[in-house]
Amino acid sequence: MPYDEPLRLPAAAIPDDCRDWTSGRAAGWSAALPPRWTFLRVRRSIAGAVTTLAFCAGAWAAMLGGLWPFVAAGFAVYVLWVLARPELVWAGAPALLLALAMEAPSQPWVVTAVVAFVVVVSWVVVAVRLRARGAQIDQALDAASEGTARTPDADAKVLRGRFLLPLGLVVLGLGVLTGATARLWGTADDRRVSWVLAFYLAGLGVTAIASAWLGRHRAVALRRTPAPVLRVLVRDDAQGTTEVYASDDLAALRPLFTVDLTSYDGDEEDDEADGDDEPGADEELERLLDAADDDTPGPVREAVLYGAPFDGAEVVVLSADEDSDQPPLTEWSTGPVRPLSPGAGARRIAKEKAREEQNRQLAEQARESVVDRVPAPVRRWSAGWLDWVAAALLVQWGGWLAWSGITGSDLSLWKLTLVVALGLYGAVRVPVKLAWRITADRSGLWVTGLGGPRHVPWDDIRSVRRRSFELKLRWRDDDWSVAAPRWAWFERRRGLVHPYDALAAELSAMRTDPALRPTGESTVPERGRPLWPLAVVLALVWAALLVVLG
């Protein structure tokens, strides 16, 4: 979406000798990026899904084919490193090849050859990706020339890695605990799967710890000496990720890279306890949540980029605040720089514009439908066939897992515990999917739940959004959500509107314009019944099935 004028950064905040990173200078940096087949920019969801699939395949091979648990789990962790943490592949590939060689006599040669081939090829791919980083750094340094400066937060406490490090230690501890208790499981297959899980958790823990160390090491190095500086433009996308543009790309047409930033610093951490008691703390939190729920990108802002950007780099950004009365905003990266090729950047902007246009059309259609409709005392929405499909899929998935767990020759304690927990989860979630209801009247919304309908005044509603498969209603201090299948490509091709999109658009129109809201008061039956009786019935049915089948 084009902008006439970016938010200006005060001249006093711009370091001396700071050069503009224009589109011409940035073209060389983009040309230095590695090819797409090097897994330069894999979505986190895809990396997680592929890694989980590799883990499941490895556990199956360990249980049925006698594969060494270390190899089964190690390959899944190695897949994660190839896609998301390529620096660790240099250690992981030789270790995995050595383990394969030790395991080769007990495995079919075809399996060993295929896995070894995948490891070697991916190792070469990662080498190409890592080698390109040097060229990216050279291009960035050439663009910055002699312009260097200390980062604005050079003397502040470096907080990079403060979350991943303890998380990694906890996950590593869980892996050790799982391995230590593996002998307690009933069958040999259970013990092998337990060891696969133990090595997998240990690998995830090591990954988190290594990521925390790498991020912190690069963040400290960035602040230790004067860093290269470049004038750029930045913008926060609809999800809160910062996009960095060339300084002359005023229309924000081609992002160079994205990075997750935060302005949380050490001083704020010290004052956190005091800030929670201040009257404005809750309002500030609500403002941040409102910004996160906003489906439109932020304004283009002038900024100074500290640090030479490359695939995986840590940076500091000093930018103009969206509030003109506030001083420039200093933010540091909480994740690595993720470059965008020219084609990927253009596709990203095209998708963003298409999403904005779709949201605009939905909002207009919803408003027109409300305006043209005869004012109703009460308006209601409830679960439809897509929600029933979602409930059926959830029951089918849970039933398959339970059946595979209780029909074996030996029903161990952990399997029984898993099946019971799965049934309780389904008993709580299925009633919501089958019988949710939102009722709107002049006082606000009534949202069904296990304990009965909850009342949400109109003034307390913060946002109504459809994100991916989920419809989420957020109000002051709480939220509610429900999920159903969605196929965006098919909807666009056929010109269809998902029921969640229509509901969110209509409720958003009512929220912003009181004249569009219902005029009457809803009755108790109209607001819906408590869903806990249905949950109890489902839980009892599940328990009866376990007794009969067990």
Residue 506's pLDDT is 86
Kindly report which listed range (341-350, 396-405, 464-473) carries the lowest average pLDDT score.
Answer: 396-405
Model confidence at 245, pLDDT cuts 50, 70, 90, reads: very high
Q: Is the pLDDT of residue 143 over 90?
A: yes
Q: How far apart are CA 329 and CA 262, in angstroms?
A: 10
* Of the candidates 92, 67, 95, 87, the residue with the CA atom closest to the CA atom of residue 77: 92
pLDDT at residue 497 greater than cutoff 60: yes
Asked whether residue 364 carries a pLDDT value surpassing 90, the answer given is no
pLDDT of residue 108: 83
Residue 489 has pLDDT above 80, yes or no: no
- For the chain, the first-to-last Cα distance in angstroms comes to 60
The confidence score (pLDDT) of residue 264 equals 56
Range with lowest mean pLDDT among 1-15, 123-137, 145-159, 303-317: 1-15
pLDDT for 220 equals 93
> What pLDDT is recorded for position 491?
77
215 phi/psi in degrees, rounded to 5: -60, -45
19 phi and psi angles, rounded to 5 deg:
-90, 155
Unique residue bearing structure tokens 């019988």 = 435
Q: Is the pLDDT of residue 271 over 50?
A: no
269 falls in which pLDDT band (50, 70, 90)? very low
Among the residue ranges 221-235, 255-269, 463-477, 501-515, the one predicted with the least confidence is 255-269
* Per-chain mean pLDDT for the chain: 86
What is the pLDDT at residue 153?
86
Is 57 exposed, middle or buried (CB count within 10 Å of its CB: 0-12, 13-18, 19+)?
middle
Q: Which residue has the higher pLDDT, 92 or 476?
A: 92
Residue 511 has pLDDT above 70, yes or no: yes
Q: Is the pLDDT score of 204 beyond 50?
A: yes
CA distance 438 to 382: 6
Distance CA 50, CA 73 (A): 13
pLDDT tens for residues 426-451?
Answer: 899 999 999 999 999 999 999 999 99
Q: How confident is the model at residue 351 (pLDDT cuts 50, 70, 90)?
A: confident
* pLDDT (mean) for 129-143: 95
Task: Dump pLDDT digits (tens) for 104-130.
Answer: 888 888 888 988 999 999 999 999 999
What's the pLDDT band for 371 if we cut at 50, 70, 90? low
Which pLDDT value is given to residue 318? Answer: 95
- Give the pLDDT confidence score for residue 4 in this predicted structure: 63
Specify the higher pLDDT residue, 178 or 413. Answer: 178
> Residue 355: its pLDDT value, please?
78
pLDDT for 136: 96
Query: Percent of the chain having pLDDT more than 70?
Result: 89
pLDDT at 217 over 50: yes
pLDDT on residue 410: 60
Helix H or strand E encompassing 318: strand 316-319
pLDDT digits (tens, 9 = 90+) for 278-293: 444 455 445 555 555 5
Rounded average pLDDT over 484-505: 82
| pLDDT for position 470 | 87
Q: Strand 379-382 relative to strand 316-319: parallel, antiparallel, unpaired?
A: unpaired
Full DSSP string of 245-280: E-TT-TT-----EEE-EE---HHHHHTHHHHHTSHH
Give me the pLDDT at residue 358, please.
Answer: 75
Q: Is the pLDDT of residue 270 over 60?
A: no
* Among 108-122, 273-287, 355-369, 525-539, the least confident range: 273-287
Q: Is the pLDDT of residue 18 over 60?
A: yes
Element (H or E) spanning 466, and its range? strand 461-467
Q: What was the pLDDT predicted at 104?
A: 82
What confidence tens digit (pLDDT) does each residue in 154-164 have? 888 888 989 99
pLDDT of 467-482, one tens digit each? 778 889 999 888 899 9
Quick one: pLDDT at residue 2? 45
Q: How many CA atoms lie within 13 A of 168 on its CB side?
A: 16
